[in-house]
Chains A and B, each alone.
Chain A
Amino acid sequence: MAEAALKELASLEKYLGLKKTNKYSTKGERKVPVLQTKDGQDIVGLVTIACHLVKAAKQEQLLGRTREESAVVQQWLEYRIVQLGAPGAKEESRSTLRDLNEYLEDKVYFGGDFLSLADILMYYGLHSCMVDLTVQDREKFVNVSRWFSHIQQLPNVQQHLPRVHIMKNRIYTNVH
């Protein structure tokens, strides 16, 4: 878990085009990632660090362009930590996927029609879940699969993670 979070932050740095890599450590039993900044202040927590990196890279549009958009982005970043990061998240993954599938039915990105940090962190967070799905299940959660395959092909997003093969055409036409 802790290693995954650190890898994720390293990938995010590369995606954002940040040249110099930061120094990280972890703390506590849950191995929460910590970023040591140059002026000696620590930034704690995956999402907090991720938002800091986005600002450092001057790509604030990834946090939402209006107040409404930023609220939606924050909501999904929190969901990422609380729902996907919680112990036992693996067992509940099917009900999580069902909810997300419903939510994504009328959206291209988590924020609606703009790419945000939420998409990138949700992609990293859902990757292990998507790898384990059968071809039939990937089609069952058709909206999650479509969103996932769109995000993973965006330039520089994929980084440390293997590609998940998702069909572009349906084979099980009776499921919706």
Chain B
Amino acid sequence: MTLTLTVNSASPPLGALLTAEHVKSTVNVAIDQGKETSLKVADSVSFNDVNSIVRYLARLSPSHVLYGTNLLEQAEIDHWLEFSSRHLSGQLGSALQELNSALSLRTFLVGNSISLADFCVWSSLKVNSTWQKYFSEGQAPCHIKRWFSFLSNHEVFKSVGGKWTCASV
């Protein structure tokens, strides 16, 4: 089974690309460039929203445990997916404070390993100009900064981040 992920190269859905990259050993995803982001799963079914795409990919590959290990973790991940698409675009406001406090006692956002929550929150920050300004000027809150740099140093994040954000500039 091959799925096709069409990527809007003007604003690449980094979260979806990261998820596709993480599950590639079990799920075959072909990546295509186009005008709009969508994941075609059947002739009549496709998803346009990044959160729907990442959830679908994670569910297809339960062995990678990207969607939590229990119901509570799943709910937490849902919270962060929502948070990343609602509060981390444009002006950041109090969202950074909330995120910083959540990360003070956690290495990863949910549970003890990497999950969709990390992908989507990282991606929203990565393309956010306010965050880029804070980060480069050293004003970023310490816990987010540590978590963000830790993920950014991962091979997969490096390759996805490098490839797609350079292309869009």
Q: Which residues of A contact B (CB under 8 A)?
A: 105-108, 113, 139, 142, 145-147, 149-150, 153, 166-170, 173
Residue pair B153, A142 in contact (C-beta under 8 Å): no
Residue pair B112, A107 in contact (C-beta under 8 Å): no
Residue pair B105, A167 in contact (C-beta under 8 Å): yes
Residue pair A170, B146 in contact (C-beta under 8 Å): no
Q: A150-B112, A153-B112 are in contact. Are A166 and B146 (CB under 8 A)?
A: no
Distance in angstroms from B155 CB to nearest chain A CB is 11
Which residue from chain A places its CB closest to the CB of B151 in the assembled complex?
Answer: A113
Q: Which of B98-127 contact A (CB under 8 A)?
A: 101-102, 104-107, 112
Ordered nearest first, which 3 A-B pairs have the shortest CB separation?
A: A150-B107, A106-B146, A146-B105
Which residue from chain B places its CB closest to the CB of A146 in the assembled complex?
Answer: B105
Q: How far is the CA of A106 from the CA of B112 in the complex (A)?
A: 18
Residue pair A108, B107 in contact (C-beta under 8 Å): yes
Q: For the side of the interface on B, what is the size category?
A: 10 to 19
Q: A146-B106, A150-B112, A168-B106 are in contact. Are A108 and B101 (CB under 8 A)?
A: no
Q: Which of B28-84 contact A (CB under 8 A)?
A: none
- What A residues does B146 contact at CB under 8 A? 105-108
Residue pair B104, A142 in contact (C-beta under 8 Å): yes
Which residue from chain B places its CB closest to the CB of A142 in the assembled complex?
Answer: B104
- What B residues does A107 contact at CB under 8 A? 146
Q: A105-B142, A106-B142, A150-B112 are in contact. Are A168 and B149 (CB under 8 A)?
A: no
Pick from B101, B107, B112, B142 the residue with the most CB of A within 10 Å: B107
Q: Which of B135-166 contact A (CB under 8 A)?
A: 142, 145-146, 149-150, 153
- What A residues does B145 contact at CB under 8 A? 106
Q: A113-B150, A153-B112 are in contact. Are A166 and B142 (CB under 8 A)?
A: no
Q: A108-B107, A113-B150 are in contact. Are A169 and B142 (CB under 8 A)?
A: no
What are 6 A-B residue pairs whose CB atoms fall within 8 Å in the complex? A108-B150, A113-B149, A139-B105, A149-B105, A166-B105, A168-B106
Q: How far is the CA of A113 from the CA of B153 in the complex (A)?
A: 8
